[in-house]
Structure 1
Amino acid sequence: MNKKIKQILIYTLPFLAAIASAVLYFAIPESGKQKQMNAPYYMCFLLAAVLILAVCLIAGIFAKDFGKKLQGKLPFYAGLILFIALLNTIFSKTRLLPVLYFPSIDRITGLLWEQKVFLIKNLIFSLGLLLQGFILGLLTGFFSGLALGYNRHVGYWLNPVTKFLGPVPTTAWIPLALSVFPTTHGANVFLIAFAVWFPVTLMTASGIQSVSKVFFEVSETLGAGTFYKVFRVAVPASLPQIFLGLFYGIVSSFATLMAVEMNGNSQGIGWYINWQKSVMLYDGVYAGLIIIAVLCSFVLTMLFKIRDKIMVWQKGVIRW
């Protein structure tokens, strides 16, 4: 196939997929079992996505690197549009699956739009809770890992404690945390911090211990003190492992956030998902899952962007 024709086909794939999706949406009649929405929200979201993609493609003409990256993802976007169209066809146009557990894409996107203010409020609450717990867990994990990895006397006492407490699932501490802390909020912050603390501690200590002793000996010969050896030698050399600990910590913090918000909270995305499940409104469950998945993916993407900026010598070694 001619290279130019192939390139044009790649650029048009998402738009052809969107047209096919619209044909499936309007040409096949509804099964009559799904709740009808006030507007074709699925088509509105699809149109908005196509317009955003078109703007990005135009921007890619001027920003060559961005355009090249975007071009490589176009077949995936086309496949994603067709996959969602197929799901919507099965859910809303046929009677193959129970409506209660498999709402149409129209219902899910409609709920995201109609309850956007309420969902944003819950998202802000979840972000605040997550941020407090993550910062606390990151600081305690970093300094405990630093002490554990650098000082063998601290490691003698702290290592057994870390090995004993760390592997315990965070959710197992929920009853104890709710009993010890005076408020549910304080207990939730502690549980998220605990979920972050263990992987950050473990990977920081591992990174410090893996630093060659030659680095410390050379720096000491040149007159470096303890502070310099720790923060200018050990920490920079351990950055790959520290960022890996951060990666595991973020994933654990999101899992813990969902668990703690389902216990005693009156707001938050986790609470919202649990509430929607309890009233058997699974379009809300799927909407909440989409929000938390997008948020977690965005945070991890930003983490790897920061990692590539700080550790330029390892840029692209680990991709997300």
Structure 2
Amino acid sequence: MSRQKHDSLSQVSTALQEARSEPPIAPSVQLPLNGEAKSDARAVTASRPLTLIGVPAAAIIALAIDFFAAKHETPPPAPYYRFLLFGILGIGLLGWALFPFFRRLRPWMRDNSPIIAGVVLLAGAWELITSGFRLLPLPYFPGPTAVLQSMVSDRALLFDSTWHSLILLLSGYFLGVAIALVTGITIGWFPHARYWGMPVLKVVGPIPATAWIPLAMVVSPSALFSAIGLIALAVWFPVTMLTASGISNTKASYIDVARTLGASPRYLIFRVAIPAAVPHIFIGLFMGLGTSFLTLVVAETVGVKSGLGWYLSWAQGWAEYGKVYGALAIMAAFFSTIMTVLFKARDRVLVWQKGVIKW
């Protein structure tokens, strides 16, 4: 018995020594053949959409117009427009070359390249019509070179005007929203408030906020407060109407179930009616934001000494139409950014309705 155990132990030790003496087997790695690697590279290269070429091609066309067709004044303006076009050309070529490596940016680059190319071509056509063929009278229709130079030279004043417009807009907008939410909830929930409040809304609401400027200048102690009040009034009407409509149209089944479970009136308002009215409230916020833009520009032309509306009126008074177009471009970017932020907030709050209203 002991001999058999000794033999088995010796066999085990011999097997272990043989296993140690054998070289380890490397894991098998399947390397791609040269033909497969070439086919993958061709697939990556072929995956670049042709629309990506549009951006550098449009920049080259716009540069050719600026160099050979445009007739600039004497002394020649600063070449900010050319620098911008060269930057777009470089970014376009870089985006085309690195397109296969930007996986997250591929959809955005593929979808927006035609739009960017169209904007660059539009700028080139604008310069060809104004600075090249001179089909539009100066100084009312300056070219993009003059507009960009005006924006760069007046950048400090434009930044200050944009900042003051932002403060004025947000102050009036949030004041109007706060008052409108209280008014809308009261009118939408309480029947007596609705009976007396709706006639006031129907009479006062449709009047444009800018029509109250003469009265606001008399009542308000300063032009700043009158501008804030006018913006708040412009926001108040649509937000109040949509909030009251959403509150009053809350499903009766929701309210009945909550009452059956012992909900208090405060609970019914803040936990049932208001959440059900949030989609209507956001529509009112969008409408109020649009009217606040118009009211802001008009209010800044009366008495206020700073802001984009004031800058626009001041530049038009001195026939500086390059500055006028520059202010309009900043207004477009400014208002569009604020509207985009509001849409992002709506998509965060109303997750179940994300994408229903696109911007």
TM-score normalised by length of structure 1: 0.93
Distance 1:50 1:212, change over 3 A: farther
Q: Counterparts in 2 of 1:143-292, with a 5 A limit?
A: 143-292=182-331
d(CA) in 1 for partners of 2:169, 2:226 = 12
SS of 2:49's equivalent in the other structure is helix
Distance 1:178 1:244, change over 3 A: same
SS of 2:107's equivalent in the other structure is helix
Residue 86 of structure 1 aligns with which residue? 125
Is the aligned partner of 1:75 residue 2:75?
no
SS of 2:355's equivalent in the other structure is coil
Residue 23 of structure 1 aligns with which residue? 64
SS of 1:196's equivalent in the other structure is helix
SS of 2:130's equivalent in the other structure is helix
Greater shift in the superposed pair: 39-48 or 70-79: 39-48
Name the larger-Rg structure.
Answer: 2
Distance 1:145 1:9, change over 3 A: same
Residue identity opposite 1:135 in structure 2? F
d(CA) in 1 for partners of 2:287, 2:137 = 36
SS of 1:217's equivalent in the other structure is helix
Is the aligned partner of 1:122 residue 2:171?
no
d(CA) in 2 for partners of 1:99, 1:38 = 16
Deviation track 1:54-110 (CA, whole Å, cap 9, x = no partner) reads 77785994452x431331111111111101110111111112110111011001111
TM-score normalised by length of structure 2: 0.83
Deviation track 1:267-312 (CA, whole Å, cap 9, x = no partner) reads 1110000011111111111111111111110011111111111111
Q: Is the 8 A contact 1:18 1:46 kept in 2?
A: yes
Q: Is the 8 A contact 1:130 1:192 kept in 2?
A: yes
Residue identity opposite 1:155 in structure 2? R
Distance 1:317 1:42, change over 3 A: same
Residue identity opposite 1:314 in structure 2? Q
d(CA) in 2 for partners of 1:35, 1:182 = 48
SS of 1:242's equivalent in the other structure is helix
d(CA) in 2 for partners of 1:315, 1:60 = 30
Residue 36 of structure 2 aligns with which residue? none
How far apart are residue 36 of structure 1 and its match?
Answer: 5.0
1:108 aligned to which of 136, 147, 163? 147
Residue identity opposite 1:17 in structure 2? A
Q: Is the 8 A contact 1:35 1:107 kept in 2?
A: no
Residue 318 of structure 1 aligns with which residue? 357
Residue identity opposite 1:299 in structure 2? I
How far apart are residue 48 of structure 1 and its match?
Answer: 3.8
d(CA) in 2 for partners of 1:55, 1:188 = 47
d(CA) in 1 for partners of 2:305, 2:99 = 43
Gaps (5+ residues) in structure 2?
1-42
d(CA) in 2 for partners of 1:61, 1:250 = 40
Gaps (5+ residues) in structure 1?
none
How far apart are residue 51 of structure 1 and its match?
Answer: 5.3
Is the aligned partner of 1:14 residue 2:42?
no
d(CA) in 2 for partners of 1:139, 1:316 = 26
Distance 1:185 1:252, change over 3 A: same
SS of 1:137's equivalent in the other structure is helix
d(CA) in 2 for partners of 1:79, 1:210 = 45
Residue identity opposite 2:356 in structure 1? V
Distance 1:35 1:119, change over 3 A: farther
Distance 1:27 1:195, change over 3 A: same
